[in-house]
Amino acid sequence: MEAIWAAIGPMAEKAFFVVGGLIGLTVALIFSKMMIFRIASWYLIILLVFASYTTWLPQIRGDAPADAVAIDLSATTPEQLADMGKMIIFGTDNPEAVLTGGGNPAGKGQCPLCHQFFLDQKADRCPNLVALPSAPDERLRVPEEVRSHNRFKEDRYKSFAAKLSGGETNSGIKPHANTGGEYLIESEYCPNCYVVEGFAIKGTNDSESPMPIISKPPIELSDTEIVSVVSFLQSKDTPGDFSKVTARESWESYFGKKLDVAPPPAPGAIQVAEGPKIAMQDDTPDQIVEKMGCFACHKIPGIALAKIGMIGPLLIEGVNAPNRIKSKEYKAAVKAGKANARTPKEYVMESIMKPDAFIVPGFQDDMLKDFSTKFTFAALEKMAEYLLQQDEAAAIRDGMDRLPNELEGPLKVPGGGGTASLSGPPPKRLSAHPVGRGESGG
């Protein structure tokens, strides 16, 4: 409302002035008997009309549209930040509608791929971030905002801080949150700084988080965007009350510097595409992986984005798919009437369309369930064929390895006795520490 008045106010003043002037002059024109007054009045009327036209015109054309979000944080209210955070998390301001339509509302931040925001959303392998009031499990009724005030006081937090006092490997950050707000900020920049018990990558001794660093590629939110996401988390469960939104101050106290006001975004930059995303026939495998968010959970050789996923298996389906079909676990699923792939290609397509037909041993049923509504058949075939071309050599070439919980064990470097992770320095964007070594006994 304020913004509308700010825009209309000056115009209204001008209109008042111009209309008033016009009425006055018209009266003068009608009643004046003197020629000189008539001419002067006409002249003034024409002048006024012109003046008003030329001052209004550029305003109407040149002003930024009222709904463009300019990121001048000094002028941004907690409410505006929270609204921006909502768009970044869900990609829409009406996530319920997307959910009802059978989709999973996930925006640029990708959080809903893993975190549960709604009761009927399948993504429960990660802590809930907002309260789910009617959840049977009472822990799910507690929002992250409430939890955040206790996390950094836990002994578990202190033991992470002690262990990582030299800086966590991937982020360089030393755990040092002193408030709930700082804990939330830290969680985005350094998921390994504190890993919620029971949610670590299996086989990492409860110490490594499968959550990607949100400030780094491929999700790569800006500082301002992270502050807005945290603002949303801090206000979601107190509708209309933004008194708990400390994100900006917490960011500044956590990093000990002023939050750089992000330069104004390129037009459309922070607007996230709305509506259901569909993988189309003409999309490349890279585009499909990006649109569908596969990269949040899987590593896939040859796909630049897909180097960080630590929730699902390394997708070298040229090797995996034929072995799966032959496995006794898969045969049991076929017998039980759940699975029915006979070829590797059918297996991969089934994995994407019906993820619960068969759960890869060592994993849980954590894959999203809505891909069947988001792929055209041609796109599905293309994705399956791409994955089937990937094998161990391709993964090793890209510095990728299996997760510790993959029963196959770490990849072997051809010729040598070592594991793939010893084959050279890990690529820059990959975690600086290779996964899959050591603990799994390989």
| Pattern 128-157, ligand HEC, x by CB under 6 A | -x--------------x--x---x------
Residue 266 carries which DSSP code?
Answer: P
Q: Is 410 in the site for ligand HEC (CB under 6 A)?
A: no
Instruction: Give me the residue label for tokens 């990708």.
Output: 110
Minimum distance, C-beta of residue 148 to ligand HEC, in the bound complex (Å):
7
d(CA 400, CA 314): 8
d(CA 69, CA 278): 27
Q: Is 430 in the site for ligand HEC (CB under 6 A)?
A: no
d(CA 211, CA 186): 13
Q: Choose between 69 and 226: whose C-beta lies nearer to ligand HEC.
A: 226
d(CA 390, CA 400): 12
Angle between helices 180-189 and 247-255 (to 10 degrees): 70
Q: Judge residue 302's burial from the number of C-beta atoms within 10 Å of its C-beta, 0-12 exposed, 13-18 middle, 19 or more buried.
A: middle
Stretch that binds ligand HEC, among 49-57, 72-80, 311-319, 430-438 (CB under 6 A): 311-319
Q: Is 306 in the site for ligand HEC (CB under 6 A)?
A: no
Which 3 state secondary structure label does DSSP give 102?
A: coil
Token digits of residue 140 = 């799910």
d(CA 328, CA 297): 25
Minimum distance, C-beta of residue 244 to ligand HEC, in the bound complex (Å):
14
| Pattern 327-366, ligand HEC, x by CB under 6 A | ---------------------x--xx--x---xx--x-xx
Minimum distance, C-beta of residue 85 to ligand HEC, in the bound complex (Å):
8
Element (H, E) at 268: none
| Pattern 215-234, ligand HEC, x by CB under 6 A | --------------x-----
Residue 433 carries which DSSP code?
Answer: S
Q: Choose between 73 and 395: whose C-beta lies nearer to ligand HEC.
A: 395
Single residue of 25, 73, 130, 211 touching ligand HEC by CB under 6 A: 211
Question: Which residues within the stretch 361-390 sit at the binding site for ligand HEC (CB under 6 A)?
Answer: 363, 365-368, 371, 383, 387
Q: Is 294 in the site for ligand HEC (CB under 6 A)?
A: yes
Going from the C-alpha of 207 to that of each of 156, 159, 199, 203, 279, the distances in angstroms are 11, 11, 9, 9, 35
Single residue of 78, 103, 105, 191 touching ligand HEC by CB under 6 A: 191
Q: Is 111 in the site for ligand HEC (CB under 6 A)?
A: yes
Instruction: Give me the residue label for tokens 């024109």.
Output: 29
Where do contacts with ligand HEC occur on this chain (CB under 6 A)? 109-111, 113-115, 126-127, 129, 144, 147, 151, 184, 187-188, 191, 195-196, 199, 209-212, 214, 229, 292-294, 296-298, 311-313, 315, 317, 320, 324, 348, 351-352, 355, 359-360, 363, 365-368, 371, 383, 387
